[in-house]
Copies of this chain bind each other. A is one copy, B any other.
Amino acid sequence: MSTTLPGAPARASAPSSPTPPDPSSGPRRRLPTWQRWISPVAIVVVWQLASTTGLLAEDELASPWRVLTAAWDVTLTGELPQGLAVSLARVVVGFLLGAVVGLVLGVWSGLSRWGGLLIDPPVQMLRTLPHLALVPLFILWFGVQETPKVLLVALGVLFPIYLNVHAGVRGVDPKLLEMARVSGFDRREVIRHVVVPGALPSALTGLRLSLGIAWLSIVVAETVSSDSGLGYMITDAREFLRTDVIVVGLVVYALLGLGTDALVRRIERRALRWRPVLAGADA
C-alpha cells in the first residue's frame, strides 16, 4: 500500500529559502495601458476647440492655451513650483499623521468589539465636521503657523482611511480568521497576514480617497494665514479674480489626481497580484 507520488521528489531537493512567490499566473496581467490617456486627451482637445470656435467664452473658462501660458507665468515667477513644494510638505506630514491614526483606529475598531463600540461613534461624529467651520477653532487652539494646517489635512485624511479600513477589516473572510486561530497565529501574525491583506483592497480605496482629500484640505488649510502654497495660490487668484490662474490651479489638481491614481494603481497591482485574472472578471 506504500506508494510514492510521482510529483513528490526526494525530500532533500525541496528549496527551503523563503523566496518571494513567483506564480505562473501567466502573462495576462495588465500593464498600464495607453488607452487610459484617451479621454483626458479628448477632454483637452474638445476644450481647446470649444474655446477657439468661441463656443466657450474666454471669460467663462480660459482656453487650454491661455491656461498653459498662465501656468508658464506662475512657473517663471516661482509661485507654482514653490507653492507646490510648500503644500507638498504640509500634505505629506498631514497625510502621514492622518493615515497612521486612521489606520490604527480602523484596524482596532474593526477587530475588537469594544474598540468598535468606543471608537466608532466619536469618529462618526467628528468626520462630518466641516473644515471651514473648524478653522476658527483651530486658530484658537493651534495658532496660525504650520500646526493648524497640518492638522486640518490630517483630519481630512483620517476619515476615509478609517472608514475604508474599518469596513475592510470587518469584511475579512471569517473563515480565514478561524483558520489563523487554530493554526497558532499570534495576534501580530493574524493582523499582518490575515487582516491587513484581507482589508487591503478596501484600504487602498481609502488611500485613493484620502490622497485626494489631503489636497482638498490644503486649500482650506492655506486660507489660515499663509502666503505660499498651492492652496494659497488658488485662494489668492480667486481673491483677485484671476480666473486663468484658478484654472491653472485646477489643472494642477487634476494632474495631482492622475498622479495619485497612478501611484495607487501601482501599489494595487503589486499588492493584489495574487488575484488570478479570470475570464468572468471582464463580463
Q: Which A residues lie at the B interface, using CB under 8 A? A: 33, 35-40, 43, 59-61, 111-114, 117-122, 124-137, 140-141, 159-160, 163-164, 167, 170-171, 174-181, 187, 190, 201-202, 204-205, 208-209, 212, 215-216, 219-220, 223, 231, 234-235, 238, 241, 243, 246-247, 249-250, 253-258, 260-261, 275-276, 278-283
Question: Apart from A40-B125, A167-B205, what 19 extra A-B contacts exist at CB < 8 Å?
Answer: A36-B120, A39-B119, A59-B140, A126-B254, A126-B257, A127-B257, A128-B253, A128-B257, A131-B216, A132-B220, A133-B234, A133-B246, A133-B249, A134-B250, A136-B246, A160-B160, A174-B276, A181-B280, A209-B209
Residue from the list B39, B134, B174, B243 in contact with A122, Cβ < 8 A:
B39
Q: Could you say which residues of chain B place their CB within 8 Å of the CB of A181?
A: 279-280, 283
- In the bound complex, CA of A132 to CA of B281 (Å): 39
Q: Could you say which residues of chain B place their CB within 8 Å of the CB of A117?
A: 33, 35-36, 38-39
Given contacts A209-B159, A209-B163, contact A254 B35 (CB under 8 A): no
Main secondary structure of the interface of A (DSSP, over half): helix
Q: Name the residue of chain B whose CB is nearest to the CB of A127.
A: B212
Identical copies of this chain, number: 2
Q: Could you say which residues of chain B place their CB within 8 Å of the CB of A137?
A: 61, 243, 246-247, 250
